[in-house]
Structure 1
Amino acid sequence: MAMMPKRVKYRKSQKGRVKGKATRGNYVAFGDYGLQSLGSARISAQTIEAGRVVAAQAVRGQGKVYIRIFPHKSVTAIPAETRMGKGKGEVEYWAAIVKPGTVMFEVSGIGEDAARAALARIAYKMPVPCRFVTRRPTL
């Protein structure tokens, strides 16, 4: 089932603009390898779920998959062929706002070749160009 918040203060949110690069969530924190966004987009909860399913199939119980994005923003839509006025439409789906540099998925417990293949399958489903990144060495 697609992800969505349990509770929100306001059901409907304004569209907003995605400006600048990611300053938070832009490095591999939990796993060994990650999938980093190179563009900005609204990624729907259904797309995130599709990436999770593909990652679970690719890892096959040997490693662990971490999802680093969550759909907090509600996206509304008005039905087709509706006259002007009558207010804002109902919530159509929930989306995660992704900036360039955001690490969206991470994997651990598998080799680099398997991780590269798994993250490539996820990247194919994402609406933004992505790249494979590794954890930085810590001192």
Structure 2
Amino acid sequence: MRTGVLAMLQQTRLASNFSPRRTKYRKAHKGKIPLPIGGSTKGTTVEFGDYGLRLKEGARLTSRQLTAVHHTLRRKIKTVKGSRMWMRVFPDVPVTSKGNEVRMGKGKGTFDYWACRVPINRIIFEIGGMRKEIAKEAFRLVSNKLPVKTEMVERGTKPIVGAGYVAPAKPTATTPAQPSPSTPAQ
């Protein structure tokens, strides 16, 4: 009886630790990776820890990739007393697939894995309570587990507006205006 309870507590769901406990629907549309084009800076700065891992490209990250990143970070920072880790994304989108050489029709494919859509410049993991060198090394190891480019950011780094597009500066009243070429200079 006792071993059955321990086995239930230690089992993993679908070969990954990260999956929703319950969902409203079994299957979902593929969707697109969001491209922030407005003025929002949500999720682009470090909120909880001292250092963060920011994606430089939009991506659909699977629960297995996030699990690998989580285990690698935990293994690297567990030696530092008082270190903490925060995960800012969660795989909640069910991804389905049909087998190769299957004829058209017969409905949507079977469930395959959980994923999350992460837009460009979004912080996915944060760590705190350690020196910068250890955090940099941990994020370097983790970046090899992800299919996109990443960068390490510190607390206090400026947020990125939208997809990182910066509008050109408009001329102000204090700058002298250039004479137009159609009017002759006197």
Query: What's the Cα RMSD here?
Result: 1.4
| Alignment partner of 1:82 is 2:97 | no
Deviating above 2 A after TM superposition, structure 1's stretches of 4 or more consecutive aligned residues are 21-24
Amino acid of the structure 2 residue aligned with 1:6: R
Contact 2:33 2:60 in 1 (8 A): no
Between structures 1 and 2, the one with greater strand share: 1
Q: Work out which of the two has the higher radius of gyration on C-alpha atoms and give 1 or 2.
A: 2
User: Secondary structure at 1:86's aligned position in 2?
Assistant: coil
Residue 90 of structure 1 deviates from its aligned partner by: 1.0
Residue 61 of structure 1 deviates from its aligned partner by: 4.2
Q: 6, 10, 16: which one pairs with 2:31?
A: 16
Equivalent pairs, count = 137
**TM value normalised by structure 2:** 0.70
Residue 81 of structure 1 deviates from its aligned partner by: 2.1
Structure with the bigger RCO (C-alpha within 8 Å, sep 6+) is 1
Residue 53 of structure 1 deviates from its aligned partner by: 0.7
| CA distance in 2 between partners of 1:32 and 1:81 (Å) | 49
Q: Which runs of 5+ in 1 are unaligned?
A: none
Residue 23 of structure 1 deviates from its aligned partner by: 4.0
Q: 35, 60, 70: which one pairs with 1:52?
A: 70
Per-residue CA deviation, residues 4-32 of structure 1 (Å, 9 max, x unaligned), is: 11111111111111242374222111110
User: Secondary structure at 1:118's aligned position in 2?
Assistant: helix
**TM value normalised by structure 1:** 0.92
Partner in structure 1 of residue 117 of structure 2: 97
| Alignment partner of 1:130 is 2:150 | yes
User: Secondary structure at 1:125's aligned position in 2?
Assistant: coil
Residue 131 of structure 1 deviates from its aligned partner by: 0.5
Q: Which runs of 5+ in 2 are unaligned?
A: 1-11, 158-186
